[in-house]
Amino acid sequence: MTRELTTEELDKLIELSVKAKEKAYCPYSNFRVGATLLDVDGNWHTGANIENASYGGAICAERTVFIKAISEGQRKFVALGVSTDTRHYARPCGICRQFMIEFEDILPIYLIQPDRSYQKVILKDLLPDSFGPEIMKMSRVTENTTP
């Protein structure tokens, strides 16, 4: 769903993303990330990155917040906020991009710096030529039943 956020929604997205970052568990990288997802029903979902000594077991804030929302039954989203402690606009990693595009390719993502300034990007622009459910349905090969 594409629509512009109201000023109040944008302020709340930024505020919740910054607060979510405080809950990050990142003893190995010390790279805190907080994310907030607004769904089409007006619900706010928050999450943070959670690391693990087995690095492959770590999960990014973006996937954390999507998993929380999806596991509660939501599949339609309005906007995502991502907050870090860096002074540049940190974009979601490749795994997160692919994970999120499964649900909303034109999702606006607000990349939030510590001073609360932000840059707005669109998910599909971060992952051009992506594939999702529609491609998987079109590309299924049927078994050849001829001898």
- Annotated binding site for substrate: which residue ranges? 49-55
Residue partners of 18: CB distance under 8 A and separation at least 6: 34, 83, 112, 116
Active site (annotated) includes residue 143 = no
Catalytic residue among 9, 62, 72, 104: 62
Query: Per the annotation, where are the binding residues for Zn(2+)?
Result: 60, 93, 96
Give the Cα separation of 8 and 6 in Å (integer): 5
Q: Do residues 122 and 107 make contact, with C-beta atoms less than 8 angstroms apart? A: yes
Q: Do residues 33 and 60 make contact, with C-beta atoms less than 8 angstroms apart? A: yes
Query: Per the annotation, where are the binding residues?
Result: 49-55, 60, 93, 96
Residue partners of 93: CB distance under 8 A and separation at least 6: 60
Give the Cα separation of 47 and 69 in Å (integer): 10
Active site residues: 62
